[in-house]
Amino acid sequence: MRAQHKKQALERFDVRLRLQIYREFVSRGRAPAATDLSRQLYCSPRTVRAGLERLAGNHVIALEAGAGEILRAAPFWATPTAFQVESGRKNWWASCIWDALGIPAMLGRDVRILTSCGCCGEALTPAVRGGKVQKIRAVIHFAVPARRWYEDLVFT
């Protein structure tokens, strides 16, 4: 019985942790540091680190190699990439066009995506208005099948 209660408590904490991570990405456009999460959730850094490891182990988030800080909470990316998503005065980073299109879907916002053609470098600015991708002359190409994305998120 005791093990079941502990498991339920960990699951509840992981949900709170995940929601706080997304709140920070949405409101600030960046990943929260583990120390910030510890303060925001009124718990020890060790508790947060263990929760981050569990979330990463379940592919809910991705952590920076060696640093243990958040790199990705789909569709958000923690560091500048070739896919910047703008909505009004807010902006976020995405790891790929798939995630860049996931941001307006998740937030229900109109956005403009600042990126470029992977082949020739030509600037591209796809837009999403009213939940629909606006017409643009471009082709989206996925070099890695989705089932293999977690093998190397940085490359993918």
State the span(s) of the chain assigned CATH 1.10.10.10. 2-72
State the span(s) of the chain assigned CATH 3.15.10.60. 77-146
Q: Which residues contact 36 (CB under 8 A, 6 or more apart)?
A: 24
103, exposed or middle or buried, with CB in 10 Å at 0-12, 13-18, 19+? buried
What is the reported pTM?
Answer: 0.86
CATH number of 77-146: 3.15.10.60
Strand ranges inside the chain, DSSP E: 62-63, 70-73, 76-77, 83-87, 90-94, 111-116, 123-124, 127-129, 132-133
Name the residue with tokens 């699951």.
Answer: 11
* pLDDT tens digits, one per residue of 70-81: 999 999 999 999
pLDDT score at 153:
65
CATH 1.10.645.10 fits 2-72, yes or no: no
* pLDDT tens digits, one per residue of 109-151: 999 999 998 778 889 999 999 999 998 887 777 778 878 876 7
* pLDDT tens digits, one per residue of 46-73: 999 999 999 999 989 999 988 789 999 9
Distance (Å, whole) CA 114 – CA 151: 26
Asked whether residue 6 carries a pLDDT value surpassing 70, the answer given is no
